[in-house]
Amino acid sequence: MIERLRMSLRRLPIKWKLMLGATALIFLIFSSYNLSQYVVLKQWMMKQEKDQIQVNMIQLEDYFHEKLNRAETLQMTDSRSYLEKIIGKNQLIRIIDKEGTAQLTVTNHFNESWVSPKPIHSPELFDITYQQEHILIYRSPLITSGFVGTIELASNLETFDHFSQTILWVMLIGGVLAIFISGIGGLAIARQFMHPIRTLASTMLSVKENGLKERVVQIENGDELSSLAKLFNELMNQLEASFRQQKQFVEDASHELRTPITILEGHLSLLDRWGKSDPVVLDESLSASLQETRRLKGIVQELLTLTKAESQFSYENRDPILLEPIIHETIKRLELLHPDFAFKVNLEKIKGVFLSINPLHVEQILLIVLDNAVKYTTDDKRINIEGIRLENEVQITIMDYGIGIPQEELTYIFDRFYRVDKARSRELAGTGLGLSIAKRLMNNHQGEITVSSQEKVGTKVSLRFPIS
């Protein structure tokens, strides 16, 4: 039964769980407070009753001691008159001798049969229940030179019990109201709490049905749910940008691969028709096919390099390497390939600088940047390479004096397959993947690559690496 109830509670919606939890918590707090208040109040009222009956007993003892010390016998008429004046409502005053025989009895709305006479030798104060009557009894010995007996003072706690029951009923009714009010309050709190969650769920459903453009309406609560909604929107922005970039990548890759494949298909068809017997056509088609095959191979190789770079988000800690010799070796290789270019190198400020980085990646980044500098420089064939050491970084600056990049194009140059002048770039056999690969490799090593350029003036690329 308990297990079934537990499973039923687990299946409840969060709104009802919150409501029941809030209701139970508020009811427990209210009940604990009321119960403790009732117990303390009842004990205080009982103490007041006992204090009052003790005060009355002291008055009676003083009176009878004075009376019996002046007379040898108890004067019933005078004593009765006095007792009738001081007795309270629902009380009994009785004087008994040492054998337990009542000598004087005065009552006020009190049945003397409720309390049996009992002689005692020491004071006693207690309460009893007799036929649904709650009675407080105080007995005290009365000993003088002419009399030995007991004073009995009894009080019916009817008023006390009625007041206690009234308080108890008020608290019970208040407890029921507390359950009702706490239930409504818990439901309101749960609804308020669930509103952002329902908004998130609705937005997720819209994303599932309508695509990645849906966003959560901004929740201005300033709490964790507001942060969650903001995080969700940021995540959706990243996902949308990623899917858009992926779509662009597929479209660009399809376009880039379609061109050499189409050319290959055309030349193979040409060979099939006439190239078998025409040496000129055969040589021309084979040469063009080999060129397009190399181009196709280059595109595929760069795509694989980019995919590998994007899949490696972190690298193992490597032994630090000296940066300056790697740069010099890379520039020497380019000088052999491009003897008509003047490479001005200034790396004095970074001598002795160590980096925790794969040396092959450093070479690949430098070759991409320097190859672009060579490729897009026509007249002033100077390329400056300078290294400087910052506080916690080393910066390599590569400056060329080529055709430059328009300002509106700078934000797109790291996108895959993006080329500033597509017609001109195709003549130069570019794929538009180089800078994408360089940026990804820099990011993987916590580095940064920035580009500034001015048309017909030149381009400046800055590479920043964290120092080991």
Q: Which CATH number fits the domain that encloses residue 260? A: 1.10.287.130
Structural domain includes residue 178: no
**Residues 242 and 375 grouped into a single domain:** no
Quickly list DSSP for 288-315.
HHHHHHHHHHHHHHHHHHHHHHHH----
Domain final residue pick, 117, 142, 165: 165
- Per-residue pLDDT of the chain (468 residues), as tens digits, is 677 766 776 667 776 777 777 777 877 888 888 888 888 988 999 999 899 999 999 988 888 887 766 655 556 667 888 888 888 888 999 999 888 888 889 999 898 889 999 999 899 999 988 888 889 999 999 887 777 889 999 999 888 888 888 888 888 888 788 778 877 877 777 777 777 777 777 777 777 777 767 777 666 666 666 777 778 778 888 887 777 767 766 766 675 677 677 777 777 787 777 766 777 777 777 777 787 787 777 767 766 665 665 555 444 446 788 999 999 988 988 888 888 999 999 999 998 888 888 888 888 889 889 988 998 888 888 999 999 998 889 999 999 998 888 888 888 888 766 766 543 444 455 567 778 878 888 888 889 999 999 888 899 999 999 986
Structural domain includes residue 122: yes
Determine the Cα–Cα distance for residues 426 and 467; give it in Å rounded to an integer.
38
Backbone angles phi, psi at 223, to 5 degrees: -110, -165
**Run of H or E including 354:** strand 354-355
Q: Could you count the other beta carbons within 10 Å of the beta carbon of residue 45? A: 16
Determine the Cα–Cα distance for residues 251 and 465; give it in Å rounded to an integer.
33
Residue type for position 449: I
Structural domain includes residue 28: no
The CATH number given to whatever domain includes residue 339 is: 3.30.565.10
**Residues 328 and 250 grouped into a single domain:** no
**Residues 331 and 278 grouped into a single domain:** no
Q: Residue 54 CA to chain centroid, in angstroms?
A: 63
Alpha carbon distances (Å) from 444 to 361, 370, 398, 415, 465: 10, 20, 21, 17, 11
Q: Could you count the other beta carbons within 10 Å of the beta carbon of residue 195? A: 13
Backbone angles phi, psi at 394, to 5 degrees: -120, 140
**Residues 349 and 393 grouped into a single domain:** yes
Determine the Cα–Cα distance for residues 431 and 372; give it in Å rounded to an integer.
11
Q: Could you count the other beta carbons within 10 Å of the beta carbon of residue 169? A: 10
Determine the Cα–Cα distance for residues 352 and 348; give it in Å rounded to an integer.
9
**Residues 445 and 421 grouped into a single domain:** yes
Domain final residue pick, 165, 183, 208: 165
Structural domain includes residue 161: yes
Contact predicate 89/155, CB 8 Å = no
**Residues 117 and 83 grouped into a single domain:** yes
Q: What is the pLDDT of residues 400-412, one digit of tens each?
A: 998 888 888 888 8
**Residues 129 and 155 grouped into a single domain:** yes
Structural domain includes residue 108: yes
Alpha carbon distances (Å) from 229 to 206, 217, 239, 424, 461: 15, 8, 15, 46, 38
The CATH number given to whatever domain includes residue 76 is: 3.30.450.20
Count how many Cα atoms sit within 13 Å of the Cα of residue 456 in the half-sphere of its side chain. Answer: 0
**Residues 246 and 346 grouped into a single domain:** no
Helix axes 359-375, 434-444, angle to 10 degrees: 150
**What residues does 141 pair with on adjacent strands?**
150
**Residues 330 and 241 grouped into a single domain:** no
Structural domain includes residue 230: yes
**Residues 402 and 287 grouped into a single domain:** no
Domain count, the chain: 3
Q: What is the pLDDT of residue 423?
A: 38
Structural domain includes residue 234: yes
**CB burial string 345-377: b at 16+ within 10 A, e below:** bebeebeebebbbbbebbebbbbbbbebbbbbb
Q: Residue 286 CA to chain centroid, in angstroms?
A: 65
Q: What is the pLDDT of residue 398?
A: 94
Determine the Cα–Cα distance for residues 253 and 75; give it in Å rounded to an integer.
127
Q: Among residues 346, 310, 317, which one has the least CA distance to residue 466?
A: 317
Domain final residue pick, 267, 286, 311: 311
Domain that holds residue 267: 225-311
**Residues 81 and 107 grouped into a single domain:** yes
**Residues 306 and 350 grouped into a single domain:** no
Pull the structure tokens for residue 168.
């108890």
Structural domain includes residue 6: no
